[in-house]
Chains A and B, each alone.
Chain A
Amino acid sequence: MSSPTSTPVGSKRSRDDIPVTPSSDGLASPPSQRRRGQDSSNGDLPAMPTSPATDIASPAVHDTSLFSSPRRSGNFLPSEVDMSSPLMYGTPSSRVEGTPRSGVRGTPVRQRPDLGSARKAPQVDLHTELPSADGAVASEQAAGQKLVIWGTDVNVGTCKEKFQRFLQRFIDPTSNEDENAGLDLNEPLYMQKLEEISVIGEPVLNVNCSHVQSFDADLYRQLISYPQEVIPTFDMAVNELFFERFPDSILEHQIQVRPYNALKTRNMRSLNPEDIDQMITISGMVIRTSQLIPEMQEAFFQCQVCAFSTRVEVDRGRIAEPAVCRNCNTTHSLALIHNRSAFSDKQMIKVQESPDDMPAGQTPHTTIVYAHNDLVDKVQPGDRINITGIYRAVPMRENPRQSTVKSVYKTHIDVIHFRKTDEKRLHGLDEDSDQKLFTEERVQTLKELAAKPDVYERLSSALAPSIYEQEDIKKGILLQLFGGTRKDFSQTGRGNFRAEVNILLCGDPGTSKSQLLQYVFNLVPRGQYTSGKGSSAVGLTAYVMKDPETKQLVLQTGALVLSDNGICCIDEFDKMSDSTRSVLHEVMEQQTLSIAKAGIICQLNARTSVLAAANPVESQWNPKKTTIENIQLPHTLLSRFDLIFLMLDPQDEAYDRRLAHHLVALYYQSEEQIEEEFLDMAVLKDYIAYARTYINPRLNEEASQALIEAYVDMRKIGSGRGMVSAYPRQLESLIRLAEAHAKVRFSDKVETVDVEEAKRLHREALKQSATDPRTGFVDISILTTGMSATARKRKEEVAQALKKMIQSRGKIPAMKYQQLFDDLRGQSEAAITKDMFEEALRALADEDYLTVTGKTVRLL
């Protein structure tokens, strides 16, 4: 066989053995001998990976007698190890090994290709006497000796001890990870997890690296720097511990430790050559996954002449075909038997940098990730994930026909742990998954800013500084950015209460509504911008698509779902088709989206604030008409907006002057001058993010009283004139706005000042949008029923007058439309428009008093 001479031992151990050997070699009697034995007689390699007779997990045990060749008995194998089973293919877990230590016995080791599959880093083979396994073993045998794994400073014994101590002692009382739900936070965390493993039987232990770091910084450093050596040691440690505790547990294979949340690298862009072979964590989005690749771990060769079989391990992606049969000395007689070779699952995944991490003006980077065994098919394209793995660089393979090679390495990540960051959207547990980390100084500056008495004004003026004035609108949008406090009444059956503030801007074209929307969209991390004209209902909600490759049905989410926990900006709201608008009803109040199509029935969270802009129907705002008449939106939808602002041209001289000044300044001031005047957009972003994450204000006693009073007052205003000017929805709006205002102040309590501001803003918005143009009074029924009370009364009056007039004429079966209109106008003292007349006719038609056909009116 050619491999033994050409393959350096050093690299061999790093290839494959390392995950196996520490647990087995270290325990089996003279391990170094055994190792050497392997090296000298490569024909024995099959001995290594076989399953013990007791192995329940190996499906192949019973086949042994059938297929084992007679020559095998002559092999100098350790007798307790069974011969290779012939039906090994496709089941890497069957490629197992006895672990003769007491507790661990009977549980097969599973290979970890994630750790060792492709290590090509140059390993000098000069020191064959000191291969890692030997060193490790030696150190274990003589604990006092300071021996380390070659090339590292890892001492297996100490490392193992430390990790066991970590598992037994680590307590994290402040943990708030969802994975730890249901665990007692005052007990050692990982011992509870081990217990879980013994119950559930899933032999994977996820370890948060930040825990390791806080427990033992040195251990953490070793883990990050030498994951390939340290993780197997961890495996070993955890298995010993586990089987000591739960000696009777039956697991599919030995427990594997999967560290995650390595703090070393966060961003794909910052990966550099120094990270090679180290453990890293990066975030990104899956863009493509490959088919499953069966990767050969071990090739099985059989001699065509004497049926002698031999196994060759894959080395650096290659198999050295034995040239000579060792048994019968025939040359080139060995043939590869695919069915009996060992394979493991592998999948190539392409991950792209998430858009938030990127500097502007550059394209996102992509990285290739390999998932092995059970991590295959764990992620789908489109998922946002955090990947923990080992960063690898492989030189371009040498081409036998060429002397020169491309001097480029191919890089990839062997994944150890996946963590989906957007998973929570589906099972709406809680709050921002992407916990933005703020530095101490940043928090300090934010708090200083919050302590300023005029912080509210400052922030609102920092919002879209290029847009002039419109202070109240900016304030409203600012409160929308902060949002209220989320309240959960699901126990009492009322579900979640909406915390998001919805705002509608309407007004003349060219009053920078779109610009405001664009600004907000650029400000918030999860903003979506759509235009009413261009979006369909499915584009807003979600649609089911057939994946062209897999023929699987895939749920594609639309703008509203994508802006969960963010803001959805909808421009040209009035141009939206009715069917599209109707989906907004559910989103804007229940904050969910229900989908029932193509066999997929689900409810997605869409906790999004809606910021919409609408143009009046007649291109210019008609001040003589109500909001509803001007924008022609269904009032059911309008009432779901907390604030409706009109953006009109104010048309007064002082305003004009300030506006002119502002605009001219925009055109000649330099960047620096502007910066001085306004808050930086980044600060504003952080401020909002911080407040949204950490501040959850609650109402205090006075504030509740103030709210009650405000509500009662609002209802009183109208009741005097026989109108209702407030509904419970308005009260809820007030509460949300007050909460948001408290958030702006970084206050945990909603106080009277907040309520006052909420009231003021709400009143302003109402004054603008719900003023009855005929009477000048605020009338909420314009928004809730689409018609002001006076208008309704007037309509009634006109209809009655018309009826009276017709009755007074006696029995005429039909009359001319135009003539009737003229008569009515002549008779009535108030001006009657054609609209009013038609409305009156319609009302009478509803009463079945008359019908209108073309230009004639017939009595019934």
Chain B
Amino acid sequence: MRMWFICRFCCPAAQSNSNPEWEAKVLEYFKGQLKEKESHSWVPSLNDVPLHYLKPNSLVKFRCLVQDMFDPEFYMGVYETVDPSTKANVLRCGKYKDVTECGVDLNSRNTVTAERQTFYCVPIPGESPWAKEISFLSAARVVPSTSYVPSRQKRSYEEDDDDMDTQPQKQREPHTGTHQAEPHGNGDSKRQETEAPSSQTTTPSDCSSHLDLNFPLPGERGPACLVKVYEGLDSFKLNDTLEIYGILSVNPVLTVLGEEKDPSLLLLNPTESMETPEEQRAHDPPASLVPRLHMLYARPLQHNNPLLPSAPTEDQSAFVSSFLVEMASVRAELLAYLTHVLLGDGLAAEYLLLHLISDVYTRRDVLPLGKFTLNLSGCPLNSYTERLYQIVQQLVPCSYRLSMSLHTMNSMRLVPKKDYVANRLVSGALQLARNTSLFLDETQLEQGQLDSSGVRNITALGNLISWQKVDYDFSYHQMEFPCNINVLVTSEGRSLLPSDCQVPLQPQVTPPNMEEYLTTIHMAQFTSQINKFRVYLSLARTLDYSISDEVTKAVEDDFVDMRKDDPQSVTAEDLHRMLVVARLLSLSLGQTTLSRDGWMRAKHIDMLRRSRTEQQKSLNGNEP
């Protein structure tokens, strides 16, 4: 609770002596506070708490993905106001605020212009429901504390809007029963935006017609946020996942400025017309829909699994070492579970497990290392893949299923595209956070014609799989953004997309009712068990890995031997794959170095897999 006070009062207090160091001190203070144990949990999160329960100008956190970066803007870092009654000049601070106090003296010589940048942030796309739920529950404690205090709210209102001559009476009315009656942010915006739906925050689907919140994936919901960044602009990149701590600003004035368009003023002042209506809508959406967040501090997220300690601190390493002991047993359980899910196919389950912990850990010039795209071919039709996805979704914190039907391939926007009219990056389904599981369901594909956008989408998927990059469309040129997405392709025959590894599914059981079968398997798992799987998958990915010289030698010898018998049988490509399999296999067992055994096992399962594909080939005759 202390923090609110600080936010509200640190600025004015510091301005009076205009000490330049105060900013650094404030930041330090906040960072210090946030480092303290438990501190994270008592800052309310925008992800969990509806906007209208949060007080303006309070400290909140937001777990998000940087979807777009707007142009830098200059603002009045320090400005002077003149009190109309006393004529006294007061220096004020504009940092961490959207609007100025009344009576700004634009001609003051004390004005300091400073620079900040706005990021458009959206909740992490494809975040699994369980991840949301768990982080919500862990933050649940703060919810009541934010929604009480109507009196405080009122005060903040008076401070902000004292001088708003327009409807001061009306404004105070709805406050008396804020939280059960109506969110106050709406009360304001409703008046200014005549056609806005009455309760925007609760029905986001309604307002999508008015405002596209630009989520990468269709059907997403949650608050988008304009984050004002003051420090370390270069350290942020597009598509970074961050946890941002900042001051929430939902000042209704922002909306008014956006809405107000006097045609006569427009005529005389063409400067106003430099922003198209689309651009205004994209850059200055109503604050009640897209709140502003003034960043104090941001923490890059390595993962968004709420079950794992998020910061690389001591307790994380303690957590890791305690879990390492269990690793092998959890792996065995998970493998058994996946085997059931994959209709008793143990080999496919093994590969699926490896796929789920894969990660692009580095890039050597253009070559991404560690990616492991899996193609599960021979999937039974009829909603099996859908079910499979639901199970994968239960295990990973971020996932998305792209059903590759002709219609979606032709109509969906996969690659983000710059909209120059609105001056923003229109998101596409491939703008995903790192380590998101992308489930491509090729069984949905039917015969027919792909149009040009369909071809482009397929090419984009191909590029994503082979190079782990997406070429964003900037209309006059393309820009390459590296990504780190786990792609799983399910198909009937071999996929038309490239993949690192194809495993034909060989069901051992044929349940009469697939749906029922999978549901029972899923139901049989306890939540605690599933949670263990979740931790396991996220953790295995973060482990370090190395190969000793001795094993290197052994691998080399092995390769030479294999080639000796039949040079066609093993190519450099195969060695690449086997090295990745060996790496993932070791990591999945919690081993951080490759052992001889590990290598032999990797070779062995790859052999099994290959013999299976060979078999498939001869079965299908001339399948390429």
CA of A465 to CA of B363 in the docked complex: distance in angstroms?
12
A668 interfacial contact with B, CB 8 Å: yes
Residues in A240-261 with C-beta less than 8 Å from chain B:
none
B25 interfacial contact with A, CB 8 Å: no
A47 interfacial contact with B, CB 8 Å: no
CA of A271 to CA of B113 in the docked complex: distance in angstroms?
13
Question: B621 contacts which chain A residues (CB < 8 A)?
Answer: none
Which of B91-99, B150-158, B316-324, B506-514 has 4 or more CB atoms under 8 Å from chain A? Answer: B91-99
**Do residues A318 and B269 form an inter-chain contact, with CB atoms below 8 A?**
yes
B135 interfacial contact with A, CB 8 Å: no
Question: A367 contacts which chain B residues (CB < 8 A)?
Answer: 71
Which of B42-50, B388-396, B438-446, B570-578 has 4 or more CB atoms under 8 Å from chain A? Answer: B570-578
Closest A residue by C-beta to B471: A529
CA of A393 to CA of B112 in the docked complex: distance in angstroms?
12
Question: B239 contacts which chain A residues (CB < 8 A)?
Answer: 361
B228-249 to A contact mask, C-beta < 8 Å, 1/0: 0000001011110000000000
Question: B143 contacts which chain A residues (CB < 8 A)?
Answer: none
Given A317-B269, A346-B270, A668-B547, A408–B238 Cβ distance below 8 Å? no
Given A408-B75, A468-B572, A660-B555, A273–B115 Cβ distance below 8 Å? yes
**Do residues A410 and B166 form an inter-chain contact, with CB atoms below 8 A?**
no
B241-268 to A contact mask, C-beta < 8 Å, 1/0: 0000000000001101100100000001
Question: B166 contacts which chain A residues (CB < 8 A)?
Answer: 401
Partner pick for A122 among B109, B115, B459, CB 8 A cutoff: B109
**Do residues B547 and A664 form an inter-chain contact, with CB atoms below 8 A?**
yes
**Do residues B559 and A407 form an inter-chain contact, with CB atoms below 8 A?**
no
A488 interfacial contact with B, CB 8 Å: no
Closest A residue by C-beta to B424: A363
B442-485 to A contact mask, C-beta < 8 Å, 1/0: 00000000000001000100000011000000111101011000
Which of A283-291, A636-644, A691-699 has 4 or more CB atoms under 8 Å from chain B? Answer: A283-291
**Do residues B420 and A393 form an inter-chain contact, with CB atoms below 8 A?**
no
A272 interfacial contact with B, CB 8 Å: yes
Question: A361 contacts which chain B residues (CB < 8 A)?
Answer: 237-239, 481-482
Partner pick for B268 among A319, A381, A405, A407, CB 8 A cutoff: A319
Question: B624 contacts which chain A residues (CB < 8 A)?
Answer: 619
Partner pick for A355 among B100, B111, B479, CB 8 A cutoff: B479
**Do residues A272 and B115 form an inter-chain contact, with CB atoms below 8 A?**
yes
CB B595 to nearest CB in A, in angstroms, measures 13
B349-374 to A contact mask, C-beta < 8 Å, 1/0: 00000000000001011110100000
**Do residues B365 and A519 form an inter-chain contact, with CB atoms below 8 A?**
yes
CB B351 to nearest CB in A, in angstroms, measures 19
Partner pick for B113 among A273, A403, A512, CB 8 A cutoff: A273
CA of A368 to CA of B279 in the docked complex: distance in angstroms?
13
A192 interfacial contact with B, CB 8 Å: no
A734 interfacial contact with B, CB 8 Å: no
B302 interfacial contact with A, CB 8 Å: no
Question: B583 contacts which chain A residues (CB < 8 A)?
Answer: 667
Question: A295 contacts which chain B residues (CB < 8 A)?
Answer: 270
Question: B6 contacts which chain A residues (CB < 8 A)?
Answer: none
Which of A104-112, A606-614, A651-659 has 4 or more CB atoms under 8 Å from chain B? Answer: A651-659
CB B216 to nearest CB in A, in angstroms, measures 15
Partner pick for B98 among A118, A271, A366, A406, CB 8 A cutoff: A406
Partner pick for A663 among B102, B256, B575, CB 8 A cutoff: B575
Closest B residue by C-beta to A658: B556
CA of A660 to CA of B256 in the docked complex: distance in angstroms?
66
Closest B residue by C-beta to A518: B366
Residues in A324-378 with C-beta less than 8 Å from chain B:
346, 348, 350, 352, 355, 358-368
**Do residues A661 and B107 form an inter-chain contact, with CB atoms below 8 A?**
no
Closest A residue by C-beta to B472: A363
CB A384 to nearest CB in B, in angstroms, measures 9
Question: B272 contacts which chain A residues (CB < 8 A)?
Answer: 397
CB B245 to nearest CB in A, in angstroms, measures 21
CB B474 to nearest CB in A, in angstroms, measures 7
Residues in A498-523 with C-beta less than 8 Å from chain B:
510-512, 514-515, 518-519, 522
Given A403-B102, A681-B365, A663–B420 Cβ distance below 8 Å? no
CB A437 to nearest CB in B, in angstroms, measures 22
Partner pick for A465 among B68, B160, B364, B423, CB 8 A cutoff: B364
B107-138 to A contact mask, C-beta < 8 Å, 1/0: 11101011100000000000000000000000
**Do residues B75 and A409 form an inter-chain contact, with CB atoms below 8 A?**
yes
Q: Is the interface of B mostly helix, strand, loop or mixed?
A: mixed
B552-567 to A contact mask, C-beta < 8 Å, 1/0: 1001100110011001
Partner pick for A350 among B257, B420, B459, CB 8 A cutoff: B420
Question: B307 contacts which chain A residues (CB < 8 A)?
Answer: none
Closest A residue by C-beta to B95: A407
Question: B576 contacts which chain A residues (CB < 8 A)?
Answer: 663
Partner pick for A667 among B97, B481, B547, CB 8 A cutoff: B547
A622 interfacial contact with B, CB 8 Å: no
B209 interfacial contact with A, CB 8 Å: no
CA of A534 to CA of B471 in the docked complex: distance in angstroms?
15
- Interface core residue of A273, A363, A409 (most chain B CB under 10 Å): A363
Residues in A294-328 with C-beta less than 8 Å from chain B:
295-296, 314, 317-319
CB B492 to nearest CB in A, in angstroms, measures 22
Given A403-B164, A406-B99, A407-B100, A510–B425 Cβ distance below 8 Å? no
CA of A681 to CA of B367 in the docked complex: distance in angstroms?
14
CB A567 to nearest CB in B, in angstroms, measures 15
Closest B residue by C-beta to A404: B99
**Do residues A318 and B268 form an inter-chain contact, with CB atoms below 8 A?**
yes
Interface size class of A (residues with CB under 8 A): 35 or more
**Do residues A664 and B552 form an inter-chain contact, with CB atoms below 8 A?**
yes
**Do residues B572 and A395 form an inter-chain contact, with CB atoms below 8 A?**
no
Partner pick for B75 among A296, A407, A674, CB 8 A cutoff: A407
CB A143 to nearest CB in B, in angstroms, measures 31
B177 interfacial contact with A, CB 8 Å: no
Question: B482 contacts which chain A residues (CB < 8 A)?
Answer: 360-361
B274 interfacial contact with A, CB 8 Å: yes
Question: B218 contacts which chain A residues (CB < 8 A)?
Answer: none
Closest B residue by C-beta to A123: B107
A382 interfacial contact with B, CB 8 Å: yes
Question: A835 contacts which chain B residues (CB < 8 A)?
Answer: none
CA of A364 to CA of B104 in the docked complex: distance in angstroms?
33
CA of A404 to CA of B253 in the docked complex: distance in angstroms?
8
Question: A314 contacts which chain B residues (CB < 8 A)?
Answer: 268
A671 interfacial contact with B, CB 8 Å: yes
Question: A466 contacts which chain B residues (CB < 8 A)?
Answer: 364-367
Question: B237 contacts which chain A residues (CB < 8 A)?
Answer: 360-362
A382-413 to B contact mask, C-beta < 8 Å, 1/0: 10000000000111111101111111111110
CB B300 to nearest CB in A, in angstroms, measures 13
**Do residues B556 and A534 form an inter-chain contact, with CB atoms below 8 A?**
no
Question: B107 contacts which chain A residues (CB < 8 A)?
Answer: 8, 11, 122-125
Given A124-B107, A276-B74, A522-B366, A660–B257 Cβ distance below 8 Å? no
Interface residue ranges, A against B (CB under 8 Å): 8, 11, 118, 120, 122-125, 271-273, 276, 285, 287-288, 290, 293, 295-296, 314, 317-319, 346, 348, 350, 352, 355, 358-368, 381-382, 393-399, 401-412, 464-466, 468, 510-512, 514-515, 518-519, 522, 531, 534, 619, 649, 651, 653, 656-657, 659-661, 663-668, 671, 674, 681
The 5 closest A-B pairs by CB, nearest first: A361-B237, A403-B163, A403-B102, A122-B107, A660-B559
Q: List 28 A-B contacts (CB under 8 A).
A: A118-B271, A122-B111, A276-B113, A290-B274, A296-B268, A314-B268, A393-B113, A397-B272, A401-B166, A401-B260, A402-B164, A404-B101, A404-B160, A404-B164, A405-B100, A406-B100, A407-B75, A409-B75, A466-B364, A519-B365, A649-B572, A657-B556, A657-B559, A657-B560, A659-B559, A660-B560, A660-B575, A667-B583
Known: A122-B108, A288-B420. 16 other contacts (CB 8 A): A273-B113, A276-B113, A368-B274, A395-B76, A395-B106, A396-B257, A397-B269, A398-B104, A404-B160, A406-B257, A519-B365, A656-B560, A657-B560, A661-B552, A666-B364, A666-B369
